[in-house]
Structure 1
Amino acid sequence: MKNKPESYWREKLTPEQFNILREAGTERPFTGEYCDTEATGVYRCAACNAPIFESGAKFHSGCGWPSFSAPHDPDGLDEVEDLSFGRRRTEIRCANCDSHLGHVFNDGPPPTGLRYCINSVAMTFEEGDAEE
């Protein structure tokens, strides 16, 4: 899926999804659909449906975006250095389709100490058993 042209994604995604997933945009804090979701299930990439996070790894960070302490599968995410806005951050992209999901920070809870800060628009939620 990484080789799909941007025209494919522009047709498949809503304008808001395209901005976030393909142009590395960010939704406004505390506005995302999944910020306060507590149901059991799997969060999937909104572009390609790959599983990216399980509900058991979700926690309330207070940052305004859904936060997770660990990915569904570490190989399912790619990390990219992001130097935008005069800061050094680690961008998280879907390893399957190369869509921008959010960023990861080193201020999360034990045991990982990580906070995957993810745009709600970049995900869909499949309620039910969290195992793939």
Structure 2
Amino acid sequence: MGYKVEKSDEEWRAQLTDEEYQVLRQAGTERAFTGEYTDTKTVGVYNCRACGAELFRSTTKFESHCGWPSFYDPSATDAVETREDRSLPGRPRTEVLCATCGSHLGHVFEGEGYDTPTDLRYCINSIAIRLEPTE
């Protein structure tokens, strides 16, 4: 797949910390309730930590009590991509990727009963995003 931002593995390793690289480029997951944005209520825009593309806005962030920042909608329909993830045996999920650079962000879940306009929960690793506060 051709992304707008394409870098070699060596370039990504040089740009990202080991922890960022493990999540963003190797589809890892940070431990629940450890991310810096899990409970953040600051108003602003959440950008991809790898390429800086806008992904989510604080207006769609909600408390899901799942251990990771949760959003019910990306900031634009083309901000993220999804694909099937069968990495956990017997538990298919939908992976969420940055549409600009292809970095792994987390997963999206549907129909969990959250009172949101989309009935979706984008469960995103804090380490995959960076908050740009607005005033």
The gaps in structure 2 that reach 5 residues or longer are none
Match of 1:76 among 79, 85, 91: 79
Give the deviation of 1:110 after TM superposition: 2.5
Question: Which consecutive unaligned segments of at least 5 residues does structure 1 have?
Answer: none
Q: Residue in 2 aligned with 1:42?
A: 45
Q: Which residues in structure 2 correspond to 1:111-130 (within 5 Å)?
A: 111-128=117-134
Instruction: Provide the aligned length of Structure 1 versus Structure 2.
Output: 129
> Percent identity between the aligned chains?
53
Aligned mates of 2:94, 2:19 — CA distance in 1: 22
> In the alignment, what sits opposite 2:108?
104
1:10 aligns with 2:16: no
TM-score scaled by length of structure 1: 0.94
Normalising by structure 2, what TM-score? Answer: 0.92
What whole-Å deviation, never above 9, does each CA across 1:26-55 have from its counterpart, x for those lacking one?
000000000000010000000000000000
| RMSD between superposed Cα atoms in Å | 1.0
TM-fit CA distance, 1:2: 4.3
The DSSP-based 3-state class of the residue aligned with 2:78 is helix
Quote the offset at 1:99 in angstroms.
0.1
State the 4+ residue runs in structure 1 displaced beyond 3 angstroms: none
